[in-house]
Structure 1
């Protein structure tokens, strides 16, 4: 394995650690550290949107059930 292949393998392993949220065993170069911050921010924003969507849907289901129950009385 040449130096380039080894470097690519190490970079893939580091990115896999980042994707799993595991601590990376080596200090990241600045460009990868920035990318990690961007990925974490994007993940957090997506999680927040999903949480809002889920809460909204839950409220819709509850209102629908309440309406169905009050209509059947």
Structure 2
């Protein structure tokens, strides 16, 4: 992979992560209004869903993956982390 492509992927993931952090924050703060949020708690529900999803990072270590797949997996991993 070319260094400029790698830098583009990292920069794009930082921007997408910043925007999604705002959306996750609003969703997480308002989760107590719903029945599932009152049952599990605001933060616990998100942790139960996101923690196992971080295992998607294993796909980053498969050699020969196409660049678009690598970029999507990396962006998703950064957003979840």
Which is bigger in relative contact order (C-alpha 8 A, separation at least 6)?
2
Please confirm whether the aligned pair reaches a TM-score higher than 0.5, indicating the same fold.
Answer: no
Range of TM-score over shorter length: 0.3 to 0.5
TM-score, normalising length: structure 1? 0.38
TM-score, normalising length: structure 2? 0.35
Bigger Rg, structure 1 or 2:
1
Structure having the higher helix fraction is 2
